[in-house]
Structure 1
Amino acid sequence: MFAKKLFALILPMFCLLAFEANSQVVTSKKEAIKKGIYRKPEVSTEVQSAVSNLTEDKSVKKTTTAQKQTTVTQPVAVAKVAAKPVAKTVTKSKKALIKQTDDADLIADDDNDSYMALQMINNAMSFIGTRYLGGGSTQRGMDCSGMVTAVFNIFDVKLPRSSNEMAKVGVKVAKEEIKKGDLIFFHTNGKRIINHVGMVIEVLGDEIKFVHSSTHEGVIISSTKEPYYKKNFVQANRML
């Protein structure tokens, strides 16, 4: 009787102890292996597929990032623009030709025509129409010797101021040898003293045309064919 009671008392206690032993909490994989109760977890096919896709996405992103980092920016070729030629400005000196266009009747007939003489003629003819003024040598008014000195002064050639003194310089030439640019002298005061001068602009056979400042008409063109100048012609001198 006593033994039955003791067994009845001990059995519940033994079961309780066994239950407590089996119900202890396992906190690590190592502890579970030690107690012999570890089981490898089973992963479902869906979870494995999701993990695989996630791994591939990360791999693609890493590759793309690496490509971006290794991309080398190529230098852009800049087209060179050819420099435009700079136009040079040529300034003519004070002695440059004043009249650029020759009159039709002042073109050199042959190699004997002096280029300087032609330019002096062009400048002398620019005074045509200027009124006569005794002692004057500008476009406001000029006498015969004033017109000649004004032309020669343009080319820095100095001549005596009076026609009589001019006749004493240069080289005297025969009438048949007179050329363009020569100075032609007259005496128009009824005496044998030279008192008038002009510049030859053209020679046509025995006719000589010249530009001069006339007492009554100012600067004009006249000819030795005119009786007055044919009668009073004295000589011609070459200054160039």
Structure 2
Amino acid sequence: MTSKFLSLLLLFLVVGCGASKKKSSAHNQRKISVGPSEVTVGTPRELPNENSVTTVASPSISRKVINTAMTFSGVKYKFGGTTIKGMDCSGLLYVSFGEHDIQLPRASYLMATEGENIDLNKVSAGDLLFFGTSGRKKKINHVGLVVSVNGDDIQFIHATTSRGVIVSSLREGYWNYAFIKATRVL
């Protein structure tokens, strides 16, 4: 048991992403359960118009997972975190998918082994994007969830060390350069 705990702890120390802190007012918060406990999260920020979002499989479950992820907008980064007190990129997706009874591995490089690899031009809302942000670009250490696709503009939510849980565009030079692959798990 101790060795399993130490292995999990080591895994969390090896894998990480990012976030920054924004506070939401008490009247915009709701409670969701994550495993045996509840966390309070803010309401999701406004999503793009449904007509601009292309979704292939299970549009309703994709939208539910995206809405859950969006409730964490502004949460600060915490390595290994999975609550509104702080979370990392894989923690954001682990909790967002888990809230809808879809189990994903906890680490981004393990998430990358799940689902079906897809071409970037076939990405739709609910798909996962994987990145290499360390010195070794081909090593996956970051993940984001596609929230909308409008032409060649792919928007994704993720947790960054500098700004917390945010929505970014794959058009941004940094993310475009760090992109490794996309997968579909829904």
TM-score strictly above 0.5 = yes
CA displacement, residues 185-206 of structure 1 (integer Å, 9 cap, x when unaligned): 0000021200000100011222
Max Rg structure = 1
1:226 aligned to which of 172, 179, 184: 172
**In the alignment, is the contact (CA less than 8 A) between 1:137 and 1:147 conserved in 2?**
yes
| 1:103 to partner: Cα distance | 3.8
2:93 equivalent in structure 1: 148
1:170 equivalent in structure 2: 115
Q: Measured at CA, do residues 206 and 152 of structure 1 come closer, stay the same or move farther in structure 2, by a change above 3 Å?
A: same
4+ residue segments displaced more than 4 Å? 98-102, 108-111
Larger RCO (CA within 8 A; separation ≥ 6): 2
Secondary structure at 1:219 match in 2: strand
Amino acid at match of 2:74: G
> Is 2:53 the partner of 1:107?
no
Q: Measured at CA, do residues 163 and 190 of structure 1 come closer, stay the same or move farther in structure 2, by a change above 3 Å?
A: same
**In the alignment, is the contact (CA less than 8 A) between 1:99 and 1:122 conserved in 2?**
no
Which of the pair is proportionally richer in helix? Answer: 1
Secondary structure at 1:145 match in 2: helix
1:187 equivalent in structure 2: 132
Q: Measured at CA, do residues 219 and 104 of structure 1 come closer, stay the same or move farther in structure 2, by a change above 3 Å?
A: closer
Which blocks of at least 5 consecutive residues in structure 2 are unaligned? 1-32, 34-40
Count of matched residue pairs: 144
Q: Measured at CA, do residues 213 and 99 of structure 1 come closer, stay the same or move farther in structure 2, by a change above 3 Å?
A: closer
Deviates more, 1:110-119 or 1:218-227: 110-119
Q: Measured at CA, do residues 165 and 106 of structure 1 come closer, stay the same or move farther in structure 2, by a change above 3 Å?
A: farther
User: Over aligned residues, Cα RMSD in angstroms?
Assistant: 2.4
| 1:112 to partner: Cα distance | 3.5
Which of the pair is proportionally richer in strand? Answer: 2
CA displacement, residues 11-30 of structure 1 (integer Å, 9 cap, x when unaligned): xxxxxxxxxxxxxxxxxxxx
TM-score by length of 1: 0.56
2:74 equivalent in structure 1: 129
1:197 equivalent in structure 2: 143
Amino acid at match of 1:205: G
Q: Measured at CA, do residues 154 and 228 of structure 1 come closer, stay the same or move farther in structure 2, by a change above 3 Å?
A: same
Q: Measured at CA, do residues 99 and 220 of structure 1 come closer, stay the same or move farther in structure 2, by a change above 3 Å?
A: closer
Secondary structure at 1:215 match in 2: strand
1:211 aligned to which of 145, 157, 164: 157
1:236 aligned to which of 171, 182, 186: 182
Q: Measured at CA, do residues 178 and 99 of structure 1 come closer, stay the same or move farther in structure 2, by a change above 3 Å?
A: farther
| 1:183 to partner: Cα distance | 0.6
Amino acid at match of 1:227: G
Secondary structure at 2:183 match in 1: strand
